[in-house]
Amino acid sequence: MSRDPSRDVAIVAFAQSDSLRRTDDLSEVEMLMPVLHDVLRQTGLKTSDIGFTCSGSSDYLAGRAFSFTMALDGVGAWPPISESHVEMDGAWALYEAWVKILTGETDTALVYSYGKSSPGSVRDVLTRQLDPYYLAPLWPDSVALAALQAQALIDAGETDEPALAGIAARSRDAAVGNPHAQLRGARPQGDHVVAPLRQGDCPPIGDGAAAVILAAGDRARELCERPAWIRGMDHRIEAHSLGVRDLTDSPSTRLAARRAGAFDGAPFDTAELHAPFTSQEVVLRKALKLDETVRVNPSGGALAANPVMAAGLIRLGEAAAGIHRGESDRALAHATSGPCLQQNLVAVLEGEPHVR
Amino acid sequence: MTATPATLRAPLVVEFPFTRSLGPVQAAFLTGLRERTVLGVRTEGGQVLVPPVEYDPETAAELRELVEVDATGTVTTWAWNPDPRPGQPLDTPFAWVLVRLDGADTALLHALDAPGPEHVRTGMRVRVRWAAERTGAITDIACFEPYDSERDAAPARPHDGLFDEPVTGIVAAARLDYTYSPGRAQTDYLHALAEHKTVGERCPSCSKVYVPPRGACPTCGVATTEPVEVGPRGTVTTFCIVNIKAKNLDIEVPYVYAHIALDGAGLALHGRIGGIPYDQVRMGLRVEPVWSEDGRYPDHYRPTGEPDADYDTYKELL
Ligand SMILES: [Zn+2]
């Protein structure tokens, strides 16, 4: 397939809130608005300049139906705008916006997502995404399901508790340089939450929001000194039932990566992996064939800040921001959703060798 | 400036008994559990899936060939749960397990009752402990328990899936508990209401006053911050007559529900109109709020007795 350079799409700006354990004094739109203003300010765009707006969030986190409509106040949805919402992490909203730009319908898109885990019990809330016939009546929480995967990895000889603790420590050390992260610096692994996973193997529970602006071709070059070009992006899903999957592998990540072009071209210098549990990084590194030359989660990743529904979009944003700053030339970004890495999205981002 | 009042918080319970119908395979499986019989389904490739599904996870082919497997099996992976949560199968510490039942090629998720993690390992033999009362649900398996026996080689055998009084649906009850907090703007609004004042917020960009305020101007996409007291009087901009009594509501029908533009507000809010026969309410009617004794918000609005407002004064607020 020949490529039309005017339809090359880039992430041209990224903003995120601090990830905080509680944000009682802020409604969702109050939490989101500074992030939207930040990302618009970076490009000089006004909301009326944006061709398409797409968001990701979850009613189950909010405990209210159609909760995303309230957040629309923050983007100035009057007069009417072209808008869409995914009941998923904002990474999938970014995918939708990318497709919209590829069709030629628009040259710019605003993508945002947010989640407040603090009002409810996120471990219980996430059980409601499970199969309602065979799984949900047993209330297996998100840590329990991740722990089953961790034990499968240990049994297969692919990791052990000290190795998992090493992933936890590396992630939180890296987060020292990330002012938005929730857990920064060394901390004890703690007791088993659900063995073999300890407190330190699990992500913090927090609230947060993120936003990204996408633009096509020359528009992207006008808006950003060094756009993070999306060279490929794909997402794949595996069978819902954990009992039919090999939990030590992630064929959906590997397939999405292949289709996104991750295994072609120059090696990656950076990978932002959406691995809320330490054990999931082991699975993703294998699926993506990442070796020690690749910087994994220099932001600290989801182990340092995991605002549900925004953590995947933040991976794409962090990878792009590294390119904007000139610290990275070719980065892989990954987002996940569902139990034990059920759904996976992979994007390949590149900066041009020469700044204009 | 007044001191910032404490952010409001209140319990919010989301509870729903999802009523779900079952397809032919799931119905046979769950009815079978009620009868202490575990069914799987055979794929075109010859694999036996337990729990069974109606479409092949790999090929999407329709699956209908039911087979019976044993109520004994082998743990394929596990996780020790020291602190059971509400709704989980056991209320004492237990292991989550994936169990491949004898005769099956895939694993079923459930709980294993064991004295401690040192009694659990991948590869251990387990058997179903049936619930005393069974209704046709996954919880008819109370849990698994250790089973000290070698695997007997009985392969999956054909089953017609037919039972007396088959289960055709399940009720998937769920309850989630939240602590809702409405954020800064709505907290300020609710605190003012408790003092019988209606306070909106003005947009710094377009000057419109939002009541109730949500902290943002949806036209400009900017934060609204300047508090503005509006009302207490206002004008009915439009209304409807409610003829059907809502459950748990002790208001006699018919009654009028209206949009009311409080004086100084940039948009209308909702309220019930009282103190006037329902068929005499009209656009332009001037009204004022009526608080019940301990009410934190107006119970309803009643006519002030003023002449009706001129249409031009509220046409932008319809
Ligand atoms: Zn405004």
Q: What are the distances in angstroms from CA B14 to CA A141, B37, B178?
A: 18, 35, 8
Beta carbons of A119 and B179 less than 8 Å apart: yes
Which range among A4-8, A195-199, A219-223, A298-302 shows the weakest confidence by mean pLDDT?
A: A4-8
Beta carbons of A144 and B181 less than 8 Å apart: no
Question: pTM (2 decimals)?
Answer: 0.94
According to DSSP, the β-strands at A295-296 and A270-272 are parallel
Whole-number pLDDT of residue B3? 55
Residue of A nearest to B56 (CA): A239
Question: In the predicted model, what is the mean pLDDT of residues A13-18?
Answer: 98
Question: In the predicted model, what is the mean pLDDT of residues A1-7?
Answer: 68
> How confident is the model over A171-229, as pLDDT tens digits?
999 999 999 999 999 999 999 999 999 999 999 999 999 999 999 999 999 999 999 99
Whole-number pLDDT of residue A356? 44
Q: What are the chain A neighbours of B89 within 8 Å (beta carbons)?
A: 138
Beta carbons of A27 and B87 less than 8 Å apart: no
- Please state the domain extents for chain B: 11-175, 182-230, 233-318
Segment 244-263 of chain B within 8 Å of chain A by CB: none
Beta carbons of A138 and B88 less than 8 Å apart: yes
> How confident is the model over A307-341, as pLDDT tens digits?
999 999 999 999 999 999 999 999 999 999 999 99
Q: What are the chain A neighbours of B138 within 8 Å (beta carbons)?
A: 133-135, 137-138
Whole-number pLDDT of residue A7? 85
Whole-number pLDDT of residue A113? 98
Residue of B nearest to A153 (CA): B77
Helices (H), A131-235: 142-155, 161-174, 217-223
Please check whether residue A4 is in contact with residue A217, taking contact to mean a CB–CB distance below 8 angstroms: no
- From the number of C-beta atoms within 10 Å of its C-beta (0-12, 13-18, 19+), residue A297 rates as buried
> How confident is the model over B151-190, as pLDDT tens digits?
666 789 999 999 999 999 999 889 999 999 988 899 999 9
At A346, which amino acid appears?
Answer: V
Whole-number pLDDT of residue B163? 97
Give chain B's residues under pLDDT 70: 1-5, 151-153
Domains, in order of start, for chain A: 5-119+205-223 (3.40.47.10), 122-204+230-350 (3.40.47.10)
Q: Does the pLDDT of residue A54 top 60, yes or no?
A: yes
Return the CATH fold of B11-175: OB fold (Dihydrolipoamide Acetyltransferase, E2P) (2.40.50)
Whole-number pLDDT of residue B183? 87
* CA A274 to chain CA centroid, nearest Å: 6
Beta carbons of B12 and A192 less than 8 Å apart: no
> How confident is the model over A99-115, as pLDDT tens digits?
999 999 999 999 999 99
Whole-number pLDDT of residue B1? 43
Question: In the predicted model, what is the mean pLDDT of residues A64-92?
Answer: 91
